[in-house]
A and B are shown apart, each in its own frame.
Chain A
Amino acid sequence: MLKCTSACAGCSDSLALRYVLKAAGPDTVLVVPACCTSVIQGIYPKTAFNIPVYNIAFGAAAACASGMSNAFRASGKKTNVIVYAGDGGTLDIGIQAMSGAFERGTDFLYICYDNEAYGNTGMQRSGGTPMGARTTTTPTGKTDAKKDIDAIIAAHNPPYMATACAAYPHDLFKKVQKALTFRGPSFIHVLAPCPPGWRYSTEKSVEMGKLAVKSGMWVLYEREYGKLFINPESKVAMKKPIPLEEYLAPQGRFKGIDEKTLEMLRQNIAKTVKKLAAEEAEE
């Protein structure tokens, strides 16, 4: 990734992408559906990316990568094929192509950077938007819960899947490196705090990522062949989370959230934490 992308100030998608590309190395092709990253590259004939980037239609990233990976492997090339897609392109419009590519055992890494709304088009709600968050299409706050894409991916039994956040760069870097050692499909779900979308000040993206983890709203873990490893940071948070309000309060999108929704968010966190703890204890 070169300097001077057209990302918004404080963009943690581009921060995450920097670590992803550092970890992946130069023999990598990025497949990007419509999302913030299609904009960040810059405008033709310029590009801010120093690896080949193949832009493809919104719902088609995983299928395109599927063809590309097969073509490279058929030609004896080990080139990494990485889908870098937003939550809309993953949880919503791209879910069918993604499910198909995982089911077929495609040799690729799918990274979903999740800013919890359609950021590129001005923050409309997506399946990734958490309950209570205001977006331009949920002006009074979203009433539905965030789609559990990780559970959906887990149901495909990929050799490797993980969650990450650019606020924990070493962790993200290591997870990308590890994911690329597996043959077959791997998945990394990256929380990508978004200053204009979440309405917090631009210097706070790393802080927001840390608060998300500390409050338990975002749990860092990885699953290798189905075996779960929860990151130490998240283990601490699971036992003793900071009050959820500390994560929500700096974000304009949760302004005026009612107590009932807050309680439901808390219950959702408790449910996820319990489920993950039980899964880890099983081993």
Chain B
Amino acid sequence: MKKIATGNKAVAEAVKQVQPVVIAAYPITPQTEIVEQIAKFVSTGELKSRYIPVESEHSAMAACIGASVTGIRTFTATSSHGLLYMHEMTNWAVGARLPVVMANVNRSIGPGWNIWAEHTDAMQERDTGWLQVYVSTVQEAYDATLMAFRIAEHNDLLLPVMVNLDGFILSHIMQPLDTVEIGDFIPPMHLPHAIDPKNPAGYGGLTGPDQHFKFRWDIERSMRDSVKIIETTEEDFAKRFGRKYGFTEDYRCEDADVVVVSMGTLGKEAEVAIDMLCKEGVKAGSMRLRWLRPFPKLDLKGKEVVVIDRDYSFGFGGILAKSIQAQQKTDVYSVIAGLGGQEVTYEDIADFIRKRRIGEEFWFGVSDHV
């Protein structure tokens, strides 16, 4: 069904179709519309979930964990400080191997209070074991949320999945949305280690060094297996509903001499910049990284690479730039742009590409080359 929706509403729409049994969430700008919409769906009976209006994000994730371990589907949504407050429990969800799905509306971290788009919130979760996908359109927010449940709950994976959408730039803008009848795209959830008083077991108790590392390795093994699960899920989605996704969205990369890599809405903006540059005779392409975890093997061989980070690791660099540099074993031009919702236009992106200085870092709007 075709409609017009915001990114937030698209997420709520997907959740409505998936019908989690328990949803626990705490409001935070700019995620609020997701919980409001969910509460509305629950009140009208369109969503049969139990909605737990918890008193904090830490409790939101704890409630999802407690619910999920009984073998039922769960969902939560947050943003920025909410995600950071949840951090202890996001780790717990991974170690407990629970397929919780969460939408995170990317927003900067204070102080000072800034409610606008930045990826630093989710980036601080990158080592927890959550799978992370970053979307760029309202349609993709919807599609990725649907797929997140099937991926997370896959019995060869059983790890939580986070769907990231840029605060305001995507959460609050209206775009066309084509909703689908999901049918049997997402099978009923089956949790092999679900709590059962008839078959009592201890969960998450004291674990010695001789066992702990095995559980850690098991998480990594599943994370590696997730590549195939993501691929088959996205293939099946394309087959059923006609929209194809991948680990990256590559735009005019094939013949490009220079490729700009970014995540989220910046990736869509970059496509306009690429068209502009190609008209000027610059052989440029855009690669929008969709999955941050598992981090895909990128095909950038023989290209000059410009990376735009909407995040930063102080004392280290742009997190995406450094990751790509490490994987490709080559220098990149690292642009730090869009922090705290700073406006970055396609013209700015074209400029980053034109004026690239491989091996250097550039803070857009702040300084000259460092």
Contact B59 A66 (CB under 8 A): yes
User: Min CB distance, A179 to chain B, in Å?
Assistant: 18
CB distance from A249 to the nearest CB of B (A): 36
Least CB separation from A59: chain B residue: B58
A57 touches B206 (CB 8 A): no
Contact among B69, B92, B201, B208 with A57 in the assembled complex (CB-CB below 8 Å)? B92
Given contacts A44-B205, A66-B54, A96-B55, contact A71 B62 (CB under 8 A): no
Instruction: Report A-chain residues with C-beta under 8 Å of the C-beta of B88.
Output: 57, 59-60
How far is the CB of A248 from the nearest CB of chain B, in Å? 34
**B204 at interface, CB cutoff 8 A:** yes
Residue of A nearest to B196 (CB): A52
> In the assembled complex, which residues on chain A have CB atoms less than 8 Å from the CB atom of B54?
63, 66, 100, 104
Contact yes or no, B202 A67, CB < 8 A: no
State A68–B203 Cα separation when bound (angstroms): 14
Of the candidates B53, B200, B206, B211, which one forms a contact with A52 in the assembled complex, judged by CB atoms under 8 Å apart?
A: B200
Q: How far is the CA of A49 from the CA of B60 in the complex (A)?
A: 28
Q: Is the interface of B mostly helix, strand, loop or mixed?
A: mixed
The answer, yes or no, to whether B21 is at the interface (CB within 8 Å) is yes
Give residues of chain A (34-81) contacting chain B, Cβ–Cβ below 8 Å: 38-39, 41-45, 47, 49-57, 59-60, 62-75, 77, 79
CA distance A77 to B70 in the complex (A): 10
Partner among B67, B92, B208 whose Cβ is within 8 Å of the Cβ of A67: B67
> Does residue A279 face the partner (Cβ distance < 8 Å to B)?
no
In the complex, the chain A residue whose C-beta lies closest to that of B69 is A54
How many residues from B make CB contacts under 8 Å with A? 39
Known: A97-B55, A103-B55. A56 touches B197 (CB 8 A): no
Q: What A residues does B55 contact at CB under 8 A?
A: 96-97, 99-100, 103
Q: Is the CB of B202 within 8 A of A97?
A: no
Partner of B56, one of A38, A42, A45, A97: A97
Residue of A at shortest CB range from B208?
A43
CB of A26 within 8 Å of the partner chain: yes
Return chain A residues, CB-CB under 8 Å to B123: none
Would B70 and A60 count as touching, CB distance under 8 A?
no
The reply to whether A79 and B66 form a contact with Cβ atoms under 8 Å apart is no
- Contact check, B70 vs A75: say whether CB atoms are below 8 A apart: yes
Q: Which of A54, A79, A99 makes the CB contact (< 8 A) with B203?
A: A54
State the 7 A-B residue pairs at the shortest beta-carbon distance, nearest first.
A100-B55, A67-B63, A63-B59, A67-B66, A67-B67, A47-B202, A64-B66
Q: A66-B66, A71-B66 known; 19 other A-B pairs, CB under 8 Å?
A: A47-B202, A54-B66, A55-B202, A57-B88, A57-B89, A63-B58, A66-B62, A66-B63, A67-B22, A67-B62, A67-B74, A68-B70, A71-B67, A71-B72, A71-B74, A73-B50, A74-B22, A74-B72, A103-B55
A-B contact pairs, 29 of them (CB 8 A): A26-B197, A29-B195, A38-B205, A44-B202, A49-B200, A52-B196, A56-B62, A56-B204, A60-B58, A60-B65, A63-B24, A63-B54, A63-B63, A64-B62, A64-B65, A64-B66, A66-B24, A66-B52, A66-B62, A67-B62, A67-B63, A67-B65, A68-B67, A69-B66, A70-B52, A97-B56, A97-B58, A100-B54, A104-B53
